[in-house]
Chain A
């Protein structure tokens, strides 16, 4: 029996039991579409994170107050977060010391918070970042549309100058040139000296809704503190990030007089993490999460496969007489087997294709919904690998779960089969 005849016969048989065939396929459709959706969402999440990190460059190192161990101690997370906020040991001078490290190319101190910024009748809630002129260049790669950066002189003299992110400028000034205009932040007047082009989100922070101040002004005038909240440093050599991290640790330990020769991060009052490390951890977490969700979906696929086997067994029993007749007129065992295998394959392949289609529709929907809910640009990723896998898995399921019923059919004795009522 040639392939075309087998396919024709299979289609006739599947068509004659339309509802049954459709319900059998449903299992495969649900299984495949959920696997495709899960993998697609996982890929999207990965791409999102890679995107968020990559605009910043890959050799960043972050120094924050607090220590690693406290966060690890189970449900004390909230408490340790509060503690971190009260740790005041990270100083501007620490930044100066790190900047001199030969393994570091650039560094910037950060002091930040959220405040409302007022201009005439308008106001806008912004994140303010107190930093150095170089800090703006490290964090925001956008060009200046109006004016310029503030200067080192501003940092030294607590200058009341401010640089606006794109959306801040648009909201407060519209088409107007903002340079030289006076805005108010927490009761203080600031002069706008520059505004930046669009940059979008980076490290999950919308940089277009940020304003930049001299670090000293943010510390003393707005926050009223003496310490800084974070230092961003860039390693000179991407291959020597680990070394740079270790060197920073030693520098700060020495400056903070922490006796920690064994290098136990629990004893430090600060922590140093490289962006690469953070990205790798996130990547692993997402991969595990995707795998977990996909395996749950794969169970649906397995159940669908068992459904196929069940229906094929029913079909073999129902068509015992037909099998007997086919054998009587010259069908070999392999002919009968091929016929039933192809029937199972067609069921799974059609189910698989429908499943892939719905999987893509669902992942597209998910990308819209996630993008809207999280207000980030979630990229729909076509999960080509998942689609390819789903297709192979559907075929494999058809073969594996179709094999047993097909073998049973092929082994039927023609006489007994013909006599079967």
Chain B
């Protein structure tokens, strides 16, 4: 079953003088449980596409169904609810809150979910355990290494058991070993059934996915299955 259906998606940025076409008629589907990598050089529109898919931004025109629901018909609050319940985000710069413990950082999406304290605690600890950071729950984010911070961010993305995880250049700020750990984690999550959309400009990172969409100038220029899928646990071959 398709979790994402996109047809002829367009996004035009306009500042009143100049219009820039960021997405120029993008169409594709994503199946549940799929691990998709979106690649392309800087400015090709891959981040814009991810933001629209993640309901953080609205397309100018086209058709987008998420989990069977037409995104155009969603109000801002409904979109917020979908982001909260169905989606997880991992950013290049981690985006952890300073002066806040890792536990509370991971808890952040649950704060907007209306669960009991007990349930929240259980979910946070289980998310932290799955990224191997249970013992650092009470540390502050600045007390963690870059790799640990990104793992904490992944724990935050999966704490709500989302259907899909969007990862925007998750290894961009990490050394190769930490990057490998993060990718391994994403592959494990995919094995557990999470749909994953990974945005990257690195070819070898994209080869961790099952399928690659390559973009150029706002258009999809390549959409293919990865023949020799690499596994992060086997080490990175550059």
C-alpha gap A414/B87 in the complex (Å):
15
Find residues 72-108 in chain B having any chain A CB closer than 8 Å to their own CB: 76-77, 80-81, 83-85, 89, 91, 95, 97, 99-100, 108
Instruction: Report yes or no: B95 in contact with A330, Cβ–Cβ below 8 A.
Output: no
Residues of chain B within 8 A of A327, CB atoms compared = 56, 80
By a CB distance below 8 angstroms, the chain A residues around B111 are 1, 5
Chain A residues with CB below 8 A from B99, complex form? 12, 16
Number of A-B contacts (CB under 8 A): 57
Is A333's CB under 8 angstroms from B77's CB? yes
Nearest CB to that of A327 among chain B residues? B80
Q: Chain A's nearest CB lies how many Å from the CB of B94? A: 10
The main secondary structure of chain A at its interface with chain B is helix
Chain B residues in the interface with A (C-beta under 8 A)? 51, 54, 56-57, 76-77, 80-81, 83-85, 89, 91, 95, 97, 99-100, 108-109, 111-114, 156
B109 touches A332 (CB 8 A): no
A321 to B95: give the CA distance in the assembly, Å.
8
Contacts of A324 in B (CB 8 A): 95
Interface residues on A, range: 20 to 34
Neighbour of B76 across the interface among A16, A326, A328, A333, CB < 8 A: A333
Encode A377-418 as 1/0 by CB contact (under 8 A) with B. 000000000000000000000000000000000000111001
- Other than A16-B99, A324-B95, A414-B56, give 13 A-B pairs with Cβ distance below 8 A: A1-B112, A322-B97, A325-B95, A328-B54, A328-B83, A330-B85, A332-B77, A332-B80, A333-B77, A334-B77, A414-B57, A415-B51, A418-B56
Whether the pair B89, A329 counts as a contact (CB closer than 8 A) is yes
**A/B interface sample: 10 pairs, CB < 8 A:** A325-B97, A325-B108, A329-B83, A329-B89, A329-B108, A329-B109, A330-B112, A332-B76, A333-B80, A415-B56
Contacts of A333 on B, CB cut-off 8 Å?
A: 76-77, 80
Residue of A nearest to B57 (CB): A415
A331: interface (CB < 8 Å): yes
* Residues of B close to A16: CB separation below 8 A: 99
A335 interfacial contact with B, CB 8 Å: yes
**The residue from B85, B89, B114 contacting A328, defined by CB atoms under 8 A apart:** B89
Residues in A lying within 8 Å of B, measured CB to CB:
1-2, 5, 12, 16, 321-322, 324-335, 413-415, 418
Bound CA span A329–B54, Å = 10
B114 neighbours in A (Cβ, 8 Å): 2
The answer for the CA separation of A321 and B94 in the assembled complex, in Å, is 11
Contact B95 A418 (CB under 8 A): yes
In the complex, the answer to whether B80 meets A330 with C-beta atoms within 8 Å is: yes
Most buried by B among A324, A328, A415, A418: A328
With both chains docked as a complex, state the minimum distance between the C-beta of B153 and any C-beta of chain A, in angstroms: 10
Report A-chain residues with C-beta under 8 Å of the C-beta of B80: 327, 330-333
Bound-complex Cα distance A414 to B89 (A): 12
**Does the CB pair B56–A332 fall under 8 Å?**
no
Residue of A nearest to B98 (CB): A16
Which residue in B81, B85, B108, B113 is a CB contact (below 8 Å) of A326? B108
Cross-chain contact A330 with B77 (CB below 8 angstroms):
no
Cα–Cα distance between A298 and B198 once the two chains are bound (Å): 57
Question: Which of the listed residues B56, B57, B99, B113 has the most CB atoms from chain A within 10 Å of its own CB?
Answer: B56
Which of A5, A325, A333, A415 is most buried by chain B, counting CB atoms within 10 A of its CB? Answer: A325
Closest to B84 in A: A330
Known: A12-B100, A16-B99, A415-B57. A331 touches B77 (CB 8 A): no
Please name the residue on chain A nearest to B120 by beta carbon. A5
Q: A12-B99, A16-B99, A415-B57 are in contact. Are A329 and B77 (CB under 8 A)?
A: no
How many Å from the CB of B166 to the closest CB on chain A?
Answer: 9
Q: How far is the CB of A21 from chain B (nearest CB, A)?
A: 14
B84 touches A418 (CB 8 A): no
Check A335/B76 contact, CB under 8 A, given A321-B95, A329-B83, A415-B57. Answer: no
In the assembled complex, the Cα of A218 lies from the Cα of B85 at a distance in Å of 97
